């Protein structure tokens, strides 16, 4: 029987354990980087290797200088640490994972979206052993999950045209919003300080916890520390004074085709750090500023809208730089993205849902390596140097002759990689609760239906 390994994270172990117990096509084991969780914990082996003098050398031996640099640059925590310490962590975790995989011998590894070096290394180790690593996350299509490899979709089935049309209808609705922004609250200085205070206390708590639990180098604890480079500071409250209350009047003076909606990303975030192939594009703030310089010089007005979940986490340097540009209009947080999609003929994003919605609306959508972007319906900017040509590409872009047909083509790859299941059933999951089990059942059914097909297809391709 095949062996499937689930890699869990904090608060999700009971859910992964239950999913594993319900697989009817494979033996499942749960691996964790927290002590005492899952069927196999990496913690003690990690520290055994971390204390050795050759931990950093082991990282270079496995991945080379360039590979180590890539792993460190993509991890939100490691890139804030001393290079030797970061390398030691990579080398120690690599060896701990190798020990685990020697014993568990997985054919397939599944986890959430790669968003930290532990999962990055696990993916690389799995592929070297001939195993596959799939990321599972919530789909844009409501009540479904998608499977991918570093932001590249894995088609699992061939939905019929009626299903694709139904998904296209939902996603192209003017009232559609992703699940994670539907409950956005009002934005104010009070809310900023509540967010700031909560995460300051959380950072202090996790700093204490990592010592008490004898796990000082664990990413789960280190990621909460306020001293990391991307963390918001007291002075970043200045961001709240940079938005333009008169943005609508200024925007109305510009024709739609000359207006660009540039939606800022969550940063750091998996879709930036691990989906973009060009590390220069991972430098989110530099890329945004360059987009605005190029498009502004070409006569476009750029409407900047921050991600609602980034409120209280955005550092001031980017926003101050944007506010100084005469071509930029700073739109307040509480303005819905759907309004700006209707206002602007052009959208610029990296990987976010806005780029997908813009294409469905028939707008010119500029994107960088997102999972949903078909070649023919988007302008692709895959490396930093290509930003310089974006104004010409936008100028030459032509809208689809048949928008309804284009919408079906745009949605089809997403529908092929999306299957029924509620990703968020991991929250507070209790296998003794009948309602919790019932909520997870569509995902269990999808795993048992589609993963065996995927594994058989992979074996056939290897022969």
Say how many C-beta atoms besides its own lie within 10 A of residue 252's C-beta: 10
Judged against a pLDDT cut of 70, whether residue 65 lies above it is answered with yes
**Domains 3-138+430-462 and 179-415 belong to one CATH topology:** yes
Expressed in angstroms, the distance from the first to the final Cα of the chain is: 19
Pairing between β-strand 108-111 and β-strand 27-32 as defined by DSSP bridges: unpaired
Residues 181, 294: Cα–Cα separation, whole Å: 30
Residue with tokens 């507070």: 428
Residue with tokens 């409501």: 142
Architecture of domain 179-415: 3-Layer(aba) Sandwich (3.40)
Would you say 279 and 375 are in contact if contact means Cβ atoms under 8 Å apart?
no
| Structural domain boundaries in the chain | 3-138+430-462, 179-415
Would you say 267 and 319 are in contact if contact means Cβ atoms under 8 Å apart?
no
Sign, Cα dihedral of 6, 7, 12, 13: positive
Query: Which neighbouring-strand residues pair with 348?
Result: 262, 366
Residue 459 binned pLDDT confidence (cut-offs 50, 70, 90) = low
Would you say 420 and 441 are in contact if contact means Cβ atoms under 8 Å apart?
no
- Alpha-carbon dihedral 27, 33, 35, 39, rounded to 10 degrees: 0
Residue 243 binned pLDDT confidence (cut-offs 50, 70, 90) = very high
How much is the pTM? Answer: 0.93
- Kindly give, in sequence order, each residue whose CB lies less than 8 Å from that of residue 125, ignoring residues fewer than 6 positions away: 94, 97, 98, 101
- CATH 3.30.70 for domain 3-138+430-462: no
- Kindly give, in sequence order, each residue whose CB lies less than 8 Å from that of residue 115, ignoring residues fewer than 6 positions away: 76, 269, 270, 273, 274
- Residues above pLDDT 90, as percent of the chain: 90
Say how many C-beta atoms besides its own lie within 10 A of residue 44's C-beta: 11
Over residues 133-186, the pLDDT tens digits come to: 999 999 999 999 999 999 899 999 999 999 999 999 999 887 777 655 554 557
Residue 286 vs residues 253, 279, 291, 347, 387: alpha-carbon distances, Å: 28, 12, 9, 18, 11
Pairing between β-strand 346-348 and β-strand 152-153 as defined by DSSP bridges: unpaired
Over residues 344-355, the pLDDT tens digits come to: 999 999 988 899
């Amino acid at each position: 029987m095949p062996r499937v390994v689930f890699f869990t994270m904090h608060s999700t172990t009971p859910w992964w354990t239950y999913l594993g117990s319900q697989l009817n096509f494979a033996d499942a084991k749960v691996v964790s980087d927290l002590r005492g969780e899952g069927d196999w914990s990496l913690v003690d082996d990690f520290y055994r290797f971390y204390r050795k003098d050759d931990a950093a050398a082991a990282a270079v031996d496995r991945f080379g200088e360039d590979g180590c640099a890539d792993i460190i640059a993509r991890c939100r925590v490691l890139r804030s640490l001393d290079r030797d310490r970061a390398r030691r962590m990579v080398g120690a975790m690599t060896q701990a994972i190798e020990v685990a995989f020697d014993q568990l011998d997985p054919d397939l590894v599944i986890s959430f979206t790669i968003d930290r070096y532990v999962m990055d290394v696990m993916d690389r180790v799995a592929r070297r052993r001939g195993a596959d690593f799939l990321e599972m996350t919530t789909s844009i299509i409501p009540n479904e999950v998608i499977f991918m490899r570093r932001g590249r979709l894995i088609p699992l089935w061939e939905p019929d045209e009626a299903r694709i049309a139904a998904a296209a209808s939902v996603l192209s609705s003017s009232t559609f919003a992703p699940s994670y922004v539907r409950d956005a609250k009002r934005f104010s200085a009070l809310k900023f300080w509540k967010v700031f205070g909560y995460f300051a206390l959380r950072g202090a708590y996790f700093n204490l916890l990592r010592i008490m639990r004898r796990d000082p180098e664990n990413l789960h604890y280190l990621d909460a520390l306020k001293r990391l480079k991307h963390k918001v500071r007291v002075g970043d409250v200045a961001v709240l004074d940079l938005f333009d209350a008169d943005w609508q009047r200024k925007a109305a003076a510009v024709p739609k085709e000359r207006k660009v909606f540039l939606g800022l990303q969550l940063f750091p975030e998996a879709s930036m750090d691990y989906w973009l192939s060009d590390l220069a594009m991972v430098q989110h703030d530099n890329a945004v500023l360059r987009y605005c310089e190029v498009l502004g010089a070409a006569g476009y007005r750029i409407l900047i809208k921050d991600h609602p979940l980034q409120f209280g986490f955005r550092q001031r340097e980017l926003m101050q730089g944007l506010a100084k540009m005469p071509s930029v209009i700073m739109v307040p947080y509480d303005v819905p993205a759907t309004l700006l999609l209707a206002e602007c003929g052009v959208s610029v994003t990296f990987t976010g849902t806005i780029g997908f919605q813009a294409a469905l609306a028939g707008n010119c959508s500029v994107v960088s390596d997102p999972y949903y972007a078909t070649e023919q319906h988007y302008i692709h900017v895959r490396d930093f140097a290509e930003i310089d040509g974006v104004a010409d590409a936008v100028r030459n872009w032509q809208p689809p002759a048949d928008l309804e047909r284009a919408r079906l083509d745009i949605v089809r790859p997403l529908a092929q990689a999306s299957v029924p299941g509620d990703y968020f059933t991991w929250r507070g999951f209790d296998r003794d609760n009948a309602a919790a089990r019932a909520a997870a059942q569509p995902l269990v059914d999808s795993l048992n239906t589609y993963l065996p097909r995927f594994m058989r297809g992979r074996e056939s391709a290897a022969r």
